[in-house]
A and B are shown apart, each in its own frame.
Chain A
Amino acid sequence: MQNPVVFWLRQHLFSSVAQSVLTLLLLTVLALVGATILRWGVIDAVGFNGTAEQCRAAAGACWAVIGEKYRPILFGLYPYDEQWRAALAVLVWFVTVGLSLSPMCWHSRLLWPLWIVSLVVMSVLMSGGLFGLPPVSSADWGGLPLTLLLFSGTVIIGMPVSVALALGRRSPLPFLRGLSVVFIEGLRGVPLITILFVAVNVFPLFLPAGMEVNKLLRVIIGIALFFACYQAEVIRGGLQAVPRGQYEAAAVLNLGYWHTTTKIVLPQALRICLPAVTNHIIAAMKNSSFVIIIGLFDVLTATTAVMQDPVWRRYYIETYVFIAGLYLLFGFSLSRYAVWIEGRIDERRNPEGVS
C-alpha cells in the first residue's frame, strides 16, 4: 500500500511532468510573494502603537496608521467624545443580526420585538437627545455605523419591494406587469450613481415646497429601490422554478391569490433562489460604498478623508488593506453563512440524504 500523503501529492500536484513543472513554478512564486509580504507586513513593520517617526525609519508596513486613525475611520465625523455611543450602537447591531441569523430565534414572536427594541436603542444611541445624551444630527453620522445603516436599510426596505416587483412582473394583470417590467428594466439599465444623483439633486424638486425628506433617508430609499430591481429578477427566477403542480394543488384547495402566494409559492421560491439572494445582499453591502460620490461619510469616505493627513498619507496601502479586510470579513462571513443555511435547508428537507 502507498503512503496516503504521497498518493495525494502524486494525484493533485505531480500527476504529470507538465503538472509538476507548474507546481514547482507556482511554489516558487508563492514563496517569493509570501516572503515579501511577510517581511513587509510583519518583520519590518511598525506595530499598531508605533509613532510616525518609527514608521519613517522602518522599511516595512506602518500599522501605526491604523492605531492612530481607527477612530475617524470607523466613526467618521461623529463627535469624538460621543463615539462610545456609536460603538455601542454597532455592537447592538451585531448582536441583533447575529441573533436573527441563528435558527434558534426564528420565531416571529421573538424577532419582531427584538428588532423593534434594537432599532429604538440604536436610534436613541446615535441621535441622542434623550436620557441626557447630547443630540447628534444625522449629518454627522459616519463610518461603520453609517455603512451598517445604509446596508440594513437597503435590505429591510428592498426585500419587500423586490418581492412585490417580482410578483408584479408575473401578475396576470397586463398593466401591472408592464409597470413592473418598465420599473425593473429601467433601474437595472442605469448605474447606481445616477440613482444617487436623483436622490440628492432631483428628489427634493418632486416634493411640494416646505416638505423635506432627510438626505440620508432619500439615499437609502434610492439604493433600496436599485437593490430591489436586481433582487426582483432573482426572485422571479425562483417563482418560475416552483412546479406548476403546486399552483394547481392550491387551486384545488380553493385558495385565493394571496393565500396561494404567501403560503405556498413564495416560501418555495425564496428557498430555491436563496444562493442568488445572498449574493445580492452581499453586493448591497459593497454597494453602500458608492455614497462616497455624494459625500456621505461611510467607512470608505472617512478613510479617504483620513488619507489627506500629510503625516500619514504615505501609508495608504496599510489603511486601504485594513478597510478591504473589513469588507472581506463581512462578505466572507455572509457567504459562509449562506452556504451553511443552504446545507441546513437541504438536510431538513431531505434528512436521509436521498435525492
Chain B
Amino acid sequence: MMKQSDNSGVLASDATREATAFRLFTFFGSQSVRSACYQLLLAALLAGFSYWLYSNVVENLHAQRISTGFGFLHQPAHFAIGETLIPYSANDTYTRALVVGFLNTLYVTLCGIVLATLLGFLVGIGRVSRNWLLMKVCVTYVELLRNVPVILHVIFWSMVIRNLPAPRQAIELPGGFLTNRGLTFSVPAAHSGWQWTLLALLAGCVLSLLVSLLARYWRERRSKVLPTGRIRLALIIGLPLMVWWLSGAPHALNTPELRGFNFRGGFTISPEFTALLLGISLYSSAYIAEIVRAGIQSVPKGQLEAARALSFSSWHVMRYVVIPQAMRVMVPPLASKYVSLAKNSSIAVVIGYPELANISNTMMSQTGQALEAIAIMMVVYLVISGTTSLLMNLFNRYVAIKER
C-alpha cells in the first residue's frame, strides 16, 4: 500500500515520513474529502448561527413577557369580519377567523385567475393580430398596466369605488346598481330548484369531460372521430335546463331595493373585493397577454401555412394547430403568474378585504404573537403556492410533447 502511493523516488530512510505527509496531502487534496469538510464546516456554522438566533429569541420573549406557543388559536377572536364564506361571529376562535381568511384568499384568487386569464388571452391574441391598430391598442394596454405597481392598481380602484355616489344617488345599471357600497344586482330568489340545477350543471360538466376522454380513446384506438360537440353541449346546457324545468322552473328574482341608506336584497359585491379583484387581475392580465403572445409566436409560421394550404378555417388553425403547440410554451410561465397572483392577493391589507394576510395582521396586533402569526401565514402561503404549481405541473405534463 505504501509502495503504491510512494512514487516520489526519495531515499529509503526518509520514505516513511515522506509517504505519511503525501498521504495526508492527498487526503485533503482529494475532491470528495475537501467537499465533505466544506459542508461539515457550513453545517456547523449554520447550526451555531441557528442556536444563537434561537437563544436570542427565547431571551427576548422572556424579557418582554410574551408567551409562546399556538394556544391562543383556541381563544375567541373578538373581531368581526365583513365578508365570510362560512358562518363566523366575533365569539369564534382565531382558528376559525384564519379559516375564513384562507377561504377568502382562495375565493379572490380563483376569481382573479379566471378574470386575468380571460383578459390576458384576449389581449395576447390581439397582440399578434394582423390588424395594426388592434395590435397597437393591445401593446399600449400591456405597457400601461404592467409598468405600474400592483399596489397602485389596487389603491386606485379602491379610491374610484369609494368616490362613487352613495346608494341614494346610485348609478343605475341594467339589473343592478353601482354605489360606494359596491355593485348590487338582482339574483334568483332562494328556491331548492336552483340547488338541483347547479348540481346538474356540475354533473353535466363531469359527464362531458368523460365523453371527451372516451372519444379520445376511440380516436386513438379505432381511429374513428366521434362528433361529440353536440352531446357535450347537451350535457352542459340541456341537462341543467331540464332539471330546472322539472323542479318547477323557479324564476322569481331577489331584486335590491333602497331602504334607508342602503340597499336590501339582491347580491352585493363589496367595494374591497372589487378593488382587490380588479387591481390584481388587470395587473396580471398584462403579463398573461405577453405569455400568450410569446406562446403563439413560438409556433413556426410554416405550420400555419401548411394548415391554410389544407384549407383549415382560421378558427381551426387556432384550435388545432396554434393553441395546442402554444400551450406547451405557455403553461410553465402561466403557472408562476398564477402563484404570484395568489400572493398578490395579500395586499388586501391596505384596502381591508379580510383575506389571510389581513386577518393574520389583525391577529398579530391583538395578541402580540408576531412569531406565530407570521409563521402560520408563511406556511399557508407556501401550501397555496406549492399546490398551485403542483396542479399546473400535472397540467403541463398533459400538454407537453409526448415523445415515444
Contacts and interface: CB of A to CB of B under 8 A. Distances in A.
B149 A197 contact: no
A293 B347 CA distance: 8
A205 B61 contact: yes
Interface string A2-37: 000000000011010001001100110010000000
B109 to A, nearest CB: 12
B350 interface: yes
Given A19-B131, A30-B137, A300-B151, A173 B38 contact: yes
B132 A12 contact: yes
B134 A26 contact: yes
Give the residue among A26, A189, A300 with the most B Cβ atoms within 10 A. A189
B374 A292 contact: no
B346 to A, nearest CB: 4
Give the residue among A12, A201, A205 with the most B Cβ atoms within 10 A. A205
A207 interface: yes
Interface string B29-47: 0000001001100110010
Contacts of B391: none
B357 A191 contact: yes
B131 to A, nearest CB: 5
Nearest to B46: A179
- Grouping DSSP codes into helix (H, G, I), strand (E, B) and loop, the A interface class, with mixed when no group exceeds half, is helix
A206 B56 contact: yes
Size class of the B contact interface (CB-based, 8 Å): 35 or more
Size class of the A contact interface (CB-based, 8 Å): 35 or more
Nearest to B61: A205
Contacts of B150: 286
B156 A320 contact: yes
A282 B381 CA distance: 24
B382 interface: yes
B159 interface: yes
A14 B385 CA distance: 46
Contacts of A208: 56, 59
B382 A23 contact: no
Interface string B101-129: 00000000000000000000000000000
A205 B381 contact: no
B46 A307 contact: no
A174 B132 CA distance: 53
A201 B374 contact: yes
A65 B374 CA distance: 39
A311 interface: no
B143 interface: yes
Contacts of B143: 328, 332
Interface string B340-365: 00011011011000000100010010
A51 interface: no
B31 to A, nearest CB: 8
A323 B159 CA distance: 14
A255 interface: no
A186 B163 CA distance: 40
B53 A206 contact: yes
A22 B133 CA distance: 9
A198 B374 contact: yes
Contacts of A197: 361, 364, 370, 374, 377
Given A12-B131, A23-B133, A189-B382, A300 B152 contact: yes
Interface of B: 35, 38-39, 42-43, 46, 53, 56-57, 59-61, 63, 130-134, 137, 143-144, 146-152, 155-156, 159-160, 163, 339, 343-344, 346-347, 349-350, 357, 361, 364, 370-371, 374, 377-378, 381-382, 385-386
Q: Which 4 A-B pairs have the closest CB atoms?
A: A331-B147, A12-B132, A191-B343, A286-B149
13 contacts: A173-B38, A176-B39, A190-B377, A190-B385, A197-B361, A197-B370, A201-B370, A202-B371, A290-B347, A292-B151, A320-B159, A324-B148, A327-B147
Interface of A: 12-13, 15, 19, 22-23, 26-27, 30, 172-176, 179, 186, 188-194, 197-198, 201-202, 204-209, 282, 286-287, 289-290, 292-293, 300, 304, 307, 314, 316-317, 320, 323-324, 327-328, 330-332, 335
Given A12-B130, A201-B364, A286-B149, 6 more contacts: A22-B131, A190-B377, A193-B347, A197-B364, A202-B374, A327-B147
